[in-house]
Amino acid sequence: MALYSMKEILADAQKRGYGVGYFNAVNLEMVRAYIEAAEELDSPIIIGTAEALLPIAPFDWIVPAMLEAARRAKVPVAVHLDHTYHFDLLMQALRAGFGSVMYDGSRETHAHNIETSAEIVRIAHAMGVGVECELGSVGGLSDEAGHEDKMVYTDPAEAASFLESTGADFLAVSIGTVHGVYKAEPRLDIPRLQKIRATVDVPLVLHGGSGLSDADFQNTIAGGIAKVNVYTDVILAAKRALAEHPDAVYTDGVCLAREAMKQATLKKLRIFGSAGKA
Ligand code: 13P
Distance CA 167, CA 98 (A): 18
Binding residues: 83, 104, 134, 179-180, 207-210, 229-232
Active site residue 82: yes
pLDDT (0 to 100) of residue 159: 98
Positive/negative CA dihedral, 234, 168, 160, 51: positive
DSSP state of 51: G
Give the number of C-alpha atoms closer than 13 A to the C-alpha of residue 49, restricted to the C-beta side.
29
Query: What is the whole-number distance in angstroms between the Cα of residue 182 and the centre of ligand 1?
Result: 11
Binding residues for Zn(2+): 83, 104, 134, 179, 207
Counting from 1 in the atom list of ligand 1, the atom nearest the Cα of 178 is 3
CB of 172 within 6 A of ligand 1: the answer is no
Distance CA 162, CA 154 (A): 11
- Residue pair 107/37 in contact (Cβ under 8 Å)? The answer is no
pLDDT (0 to 100) of residue 59: 92
pLDDT (0 to 100) of residue 1: 62
Counting from 1 in the atom list of ligand 1, the atom nearest the Cα of 207 is 8
pLDDT digits (tens, 9 = 90+) for 215-256: 999 999 999 999 999 999 999 999 999 999 999 999 999 999
Catalytic pick from 12, 60, 82, 247?
A: 82
pLDDT (0 to 100) of residue 142: 87
pLDDT (0 to 100) of residue 9: 98
Q: Residue ranges of the chain with pLDDT lower than 50? A: none
